Every structure is written in structure tokens, then in C-alpha cells.
Amino acid sequence: MDKPPKEQARNDASHATGTHSANFVERKITAMTANLPSNTIGALWVLLAAFGFSIMVTLIKFVGQDLSVFQILVVRQAVMLVIVAPTIFRGLPSSLATKRPELQLARVLLASTAMLCGFTAFIHLPLADATAISFSRTFFITIFAIWLLGETVGVHRWGATIIGFLGVLLMLRPDAEGFIDLYALLAIAGAAGAGMVMIVVRILTRTDPPVTILTYQALGVGLIMLIPAILTWQAPTLHQWGLLILVGIVSWAAQLANIKGFKAGEATAIASLDYTRLLYATVFGALIFSHWPRAETLAGAAIIIAASIYTVRREAKRGRELARAAEGRSDSH
């Protein structure tokens, strides 16, 4: 007997992210939220993901004071690979069969660059600053979607994009000599890389299953970082090993929660909750590292968040108007 579409979709997501190891927790959460609206369930997952990602970058910043970012990335990828290994091996050899090998390679290179730049920025910048700048990936996605996907963008979305970048420039306030912090530029590069990765993934999903995309990233990023990690390797203490392994586990859990959030709820209703990362980053930065965000950072973040939320709401409204227009045309026939 065939499974219902929703149940099948959930199973597909589980296979793509190696979530069978978390079935017990998922059943408990599903039971507790069974009577809640789907958008509320999605919002709870997204809030959990935002908290998880904030824990992840806090751990990376902490352990990055003594170990290289290459070493952190290799261990992180290894831990995540171990978690999803049953899914990957179960799908062999089809999990390695791709119709777009050049895009898989591009995705791995872009993801490696984005994580290397982004994680380095988190290690050296105040958490709130690095988090706020990372939100600019929304606007890079708009630019890359026009360039690579041929999407048409109206004056409202262009306006929001320009305003959002003004917020980024505000956070990148040059010093008295006109120089911009190198690590702030790395944060921008990481955001741009992350935006490009999302566009490439959008193209890849047209031809390759999620498990294939997952497999190439899990293996590819780790292999790219392996040689520089060996060259910069420092023997971690037992405590540092624990933190490194925790980075991998939290990274996987946060990604899983994010996927489940957007699967359960409407993106237009829950996407803005991702910005709670800035709140967490401010609290963790202050409590753990005694770093308080600058006024320029908070002002720039407010501009970015407002522009992003406006874009999401505007696109949702436009989508509803197009749907009503289509219904009107069909009724007239």
C-alpha cells in the first residue's frame, strides 16, 4: 500500500539528512505538537534551529582561539558524516550518481569557501557583528537569482536589496584611515558564498536527489579541508575534542531542525524568526566573551532585517495576487 504524500515527504527528508537516529526524539516532539497549527510547529523548529546555529558558532569561536579553522571544519564534517553514513551507504551506488557533476563540484567549492570565510569571521569578530553581517546572504541570493536563474525582480525587491546593503555598509564602518576590518570582509564573503550555494542547490534539486547533494558536500568539504588541517594540526586536549565533536552534532541537529521547520510551516510566515540568531549572538557574546555589539552593528542589523522581512512579505502578497488572477482566468473559461 502506498504511503500518503506527506508521510512519504517526511521519509524523504529523513533519508536525506540521516534522521533515523533521532526517531525517538522526533516522535516525542510530534506527539507534543500534534494539535498545534502547522505554522506554529514550523516556527518552533526554526527557533530551535536558530538557537542551535548560535550554539554552533559560539563553540567554534571558543575552540577557534586555540585550534585552526581547518581543523575545526575537518572534525565537524567527519562527525556529521558519521551521523549520516547509514543513509549514504544505504543509498550506494545511487547516492553518488549525479547528472550535474560540475555543479556538485561548484557547490562543494562554494560551501568550503563560505564556511572557511564565515567561521574565520565568527572566530575573530564579536558574535553579534559576524551574525548580523551574515544576514546579507538574503540579498546576495536575489542578485545571483537574477544572474543565474533569470528571475525577474521588481522595483520593490531591488529597493529592499539596496537598502539592505546600505545596512551592511553601515556595519562595515571604516576606521579613521578608511580601512575596513579584514574579518568583516570575510564575513561578507562567507555570506555571498552561502547565497551562491543556495542558488546552486536550487538548480541541483531539479536533477539530483537530496541524498546525492548531501553526500557530495559531506565528503567534498572534508576532503578539501583535510590537507590544510593536517598542516596546521595541533593535538586537541580531551576537552577540546569534546567541543569539536559537539560542534558537529549541534551543526547536524540545527540543520535538521531548520529543514523540518520550513517543511512544516510556510516560509513567508516563519522565515523572519531566523533573525533571533542576533539576539542569541548578543547574549552569548556578552556572557562568554564580554563582547557587546556596536551601535552601528545594531542599526545595520535592524535595516537588514527590516528589508528582508519586507521582501518576504511583498513576495508572499505578490504570490497571492498572481494565484487569484490565475483563478480568475480559469473561471472565465
Better-predicted residue by pLDDT, 307 or 230: 230
Give 110-123 pLDDT, tens digit per residue: 999 999 999 999 99
**Domain segments of the chain as ranges:** 38-332
In this prediction, residue 241 carries a pLDDT of: 97
Q: What mean pLDDT value characterizes the chain?
A: 81
d(CA 227, CA 221): 11
d(CA 53, CA 50): 5
Which of 54, 60, 201, 204 is closest to 120 using CA atoms? 60
Q: What do you get for the CA distance between the two ends of the chain, in Å? A: 38
- Report, as an integer, the average pLDDT of 285-300: 86
Distances in Å between the alpha carbon of 176 and those of 113, 173, 179, 288, 304? 30, 9, 8, 29, 25
d(CA 12, CA 214): 13
d(CA 275, CA 29): 23
Give 78-130 pLDDT, tens digit per residue: 999 998 888 778 877 777 888 899 999 999 999 999 999 999 999 999 999 89
Look at the pTM and tell me if it is higher than 0.85: no
Q: What is the dihedral of CA 104, 117, 140, 44, to 10 degrees?
A: 90
Coil vs helix vs strand at 30: helix
* Out of 44-48, 124-128, 272-276, least confident range: 272-276
Instruction: Give residue 138's pLDDT band: very low, low, confident or very high (50, 70, 90).
Output: confident
Give 212-265 pLDDT, tens digit per residue: 888 888 889 999 999 999 999 999 999 999 999 999 999 999 988 888 887 877
Tell me the three cell numbers of residue 46.
Answer: 526554526
Q: With the C-alpha atoms ordered 261, 21, 79, 96, is the resulting torsion angle positive or negative?
A: negative
In this prediction, residue 330 carries a pLDDT of: 45
